Structure 1
Amino acid sequence: MGMGLKGILWGAAAAALILGTSYAKAAELSFLGWEGYADDSFVKEFEATTGCKVTATYVGSNDDFAPKLAAGGGNYDIVSVSADTTGVLVAAGLVEPLDPSKLEHWNDIYDVFRKAKGINADGKIYGVPLTWGSIPLMYRTDKITETPDSYAALWDDRYKGKIALWDDKSAIYNTARLLGYDNVYSLSDEQLEAVKAKLIAEKPLLRKYWTTAGELINLYASGEVWISNTWGGYQVAELQKQGIPVKEFLPKEKADGWVDNWMIVKDSPNADCAYKYINFTTSARGQCGISTVTGYSAANPVAAKECMTPEEYKDKHQDDINYVNSLVMWEQPDRLDVYTNTWNAVKGAE
């Protein structure tokens, strides 16, 4: 727990080198990442046209990637990693630089995402942006009749026992903004202590720390949870399909913003299938396939325009990159190990 970031990265890299020896079979693509990025609605088409079979393992937090890869990196070929964690995998040597000549849609992706420091290092590209969005709050409109507009709603005594919070260190970012701190990725020890105290004070009000989209959907559908943060689009759409009245909102303190990126695991024997999947999912068929399933915005606006209706294109802010600037886009914290330890201390507190 007290190990510095450098030690964590060296340990992860060493474990990957020692343990990453059993690789997926040829013509198979083992995917580690977020729900919705390997859905049958478009994966079956990809498999039929390429001969590459996709096997998916899902994560519930960006903190899952490094330890899973370190414990058996050879079990995976491709990962979908958010921008606050890509640099960790690059520094640990767990992913490999990409060949730009093999990226068919690279130049069509939003420039701001392509130039992100988390996927660029030493003049090399390590990630391909896939989707983006916000981390809004969500609530049941049949249970909460007022219109909340702040993160403070997650500390409201009126909702005691009906609040859920994502089990992820990003809770530190939005709690810091609630406390009036703008430097959410470079918080001082004193500021982190204040954030920790605020989050611990919330614990008696919580029903659950949720970890997967499916878990949160079930908590809302059963009536166990009325308000929470959410991944944006995906969970609200699934609940509305079930007739559960929910609504999202961006808090007045500003919402987190994120970009998920494809990265190829170092020494993957199935890099050919990985490049094919990257190209498929950044094409019009893949971008709209994923966007339809998840509700997320597409990283390739050129492809999105080919397959979205004008209304959907506008609703998902594909024509308004300034929307990104209204969000606090995720970055790797300056002291990642300290942030991780702070979040673990919150969860472990009585």
Structure 2
Amino acid sequence: MTRKILLGALGALALTTAAPALAEGTLNVLTWEGYADPSFISKFEEESGCKVNATYVGSNDDFAPKLMSGGGVYDLITPSIDTTKLMIDLDFVEPLDTAKISEWNNIYKKFRDLDGIQKDGEYYGMPYVWGAIAFMYRDDAFTTPPTSIADLWNPALKGKVALWDDKSSIYVAARLNGDMDIYNLTDEQIAAAQKKLLEQKPLIRKYWATAGELVDLYKAGEVVISNTWAGYQSGLLKAEGIKVTEFIPKEGAEGWMDSWMVVKGTPNKECAYKFLNMQLSPLGQCGVANINGYSVTNPVSAKACMTPEQYKDLHQDDPAYLDSLMVWQPLGDRFEAYTNAWNAVKAQ
């Protein structure tokens, strides 16, 4: 199926499955764990009078199906930069009125300039948080620290390996094969990555879907090495007394950036823009940084609410760190090829 046909089919389905809008003053957000945590959302609700209901995703591939499922109308979503373009193309989201976002010009220019959140001169996404897809291991399981993606293919670790249940697993296997242009892989390179993942499958304990699932696997000692949302799961494990170490493998790591997007036609725009402004303020930026351990997009707010040590640890003063990462890119017409290859791995 071509991308044009896919967009048409999904768009038609969206029209037939849309559910009634929520009451005004209530925001229904489709987002990642931690992005609507009560530790900072409760204060926003008290101050704004806007109620926030959160539904969490475990993969960027969840956004389109959930928006079309008929289970409710979402007002705001936070897809990653490799998925924002698809949300725009599917006509799920509407242009932002950046004049209503007071901290807009304080967002790192690098993120505001990304093509994935723009179309026809308008912005559709508000950059929010960013980070790396690093790798992680339990300290007590290794005498020699792992340094390569190849360590996830080590037969001695059979049954102790986990990998994120996401099409980005194709990126991981491609780099192991030496195919470094991971967002522009040929059919042959995708097939080679799929083959590599099938070779790894007997070693896999679990393809993890949520932060909590991976944390539980490490806590139980069922998994000793995996990829990870850098800063998040490791922080949760260390709080539980489990010693783990994150590392960037010699084959490099992917980078990501998540953006808030306003779902087209939401009746709750007043609350939506209050929410967007809060998320770029010190309350929202340090709120998510303290919960998830991610870097944030507004260095002005970050400097106002972080200690100098936290600001440095999250690379807020180090744009070169971001440049060292393979930041996710929209896959365009290749989206299905990557997704189908990953689904085929799981199906076998």
TM-score band, normalised by shorter chain: over 0.9
SS at match of 1:75: coil
CA contact under 8 A between 1:98 and 1:124: conserved in structure 2?
yes
- 2:337 aligned partner, one-letter code: V
Could you tell me which of 217, 226, 229 is aligned with 1:228? 226
Instruction: Give deviations 1:35-88, integer Å, cap 9, x for gaps.
Output: 000001001000000011110100000000011112238521100110000000
Q: CA deviation at 1:322?
A: 1.1
Shift of 1:274: 1.2
Residue identity opposite 1:217 in structure 2: V
Report deviation, 1:189: 1.1
Distance in 2 of aligned mates of 1:78 and 1:184: 29
- 1:303 paired to 2:301: yes
Q: Distance in 2 between matches of 1:159 and 1:111?
A: 43
Structure 1 length-normalised TM: 0.97
Q: Give 3-state SS (helix, strand or coil) of 2:245's partner.
A: strand
Letter in 1 for 2:92: L
Partner of 1:348: 347
- 1:282 equivalent to 2:280? Answer yes
Question: Contact 1:73/1:265 (CA < 8 Å) preserved in 2?
Answer: no
Aligned to 2:213: 215
Distance across 1 between alignment mates of 2:72 and 2:215: 32
Q: Residue type matched to 1:145 in 2?
A: T
Measured against aligned partners, the alpha-carbon deviations of 1:243-273 in whole angstroms (never above 9, x if no partner) come to 0111100111110000000001111111221
What's the secondary structure of 2:27's corresponding residue?
A: strand
**Match in the other structure for 1:182:** 180
Q: Say whether residues 1:19 and 2:32 are aligned partners.
A: no
1:3-152 equivalences in 2 (<5 Å): 3-72=1-70, 75-152=73-150
In structure 2, what residue type is equivalent to 1:329?
V
The SS at the match of 1:136 is strand
The answer to whether 1:160 aligns with 2:158 is yes
Instruction: Give the whole-Å Cα distance in 2 for the aligned partners of 1:149 and 1:108.
Output: 36
Alignment partner, residue 291 of structure 1: 289
Deviation of the 1:182 alpha carbon? 1.9
Q: How does 1:191-340 map to 2 (within 5 A)?
A: 191-334=189-332, 335-340=334-339
SS class of match (1:24): coil
**What do the CA deviations read for 1:80-109 (whole angstroms, capped 9, x no partner)?**
110000000000001111111111111000
Does the aligned pair in 2 maintain the 1:73–1:94 contact within 8 Å?
A: no
Please tell me whether the aligned partners of residues 291 and 297 of structure 1 are also in contact (alpha carbons under 8 angstroms).
yes
Give the distance between the partners of 1:183 and 1:347, measured in 2 at CA: 24
Q: TM-score, normalised by structure 2?
A: 0.98
Q: What is the CA-CA distance between 1:193 and the residue it aligns to?
A: 1.0
Over the matched positions of the two proteins, sequence identity in percent amounts to 54
Whole-Å Cα distance in 1 between the matches of residues 88 and 70 of structure 2? 16
2:171 — aligned with what? 173
Range 160-169 or range 269-278, more displaced = 269-278
Separation of aligned partners in 1, 2:289 and 2:323:
21
Aligned equivalents of 1:161, 1:347: Cα separation in 2: 16
Q: Distance in 2 between matches of 1:118 and 1:71?
A: 24
What's the CA shift string for 1:198-243, capped at 9, x where partnerless? 0000000000000000100111111111110011111000010000
Find the aligned partners of 1:8 and 1:213 in 2 and give their Cα distance. Answer: 30
Give 1:4 shift: 2.1
Q: Distance in 2 between matches of 1:39 and 1:8?
A: 34
Whole-Å separation in 1 of the counterparts to 2:92 and 2:135: 33
SS at 2:28 equivalent: strand
1:24 to partner: Cα distance: 1.2
In structure 2, the CA distance between the partners of 1:126 and 1:74, relative to structure 1 (3 Å rule), is farther
Mapped to 1, the partners of 2:101 and 2:236 lie a distance apart of 32
Give the superposition deviation at 1:18: 2.3
Q: Is the 8 A contact 1:16 1:73 kept in 2?
A: no
CA shift at 1:13, angstroms? 1.7
CA contact (8 A) 1:74 1:268 kept: no
Structure 2 unaligned blocks of 5 or more: none
Q: Counterparts of 1:150 and 1:73 in 2: how far apart (Å)?
A: 42
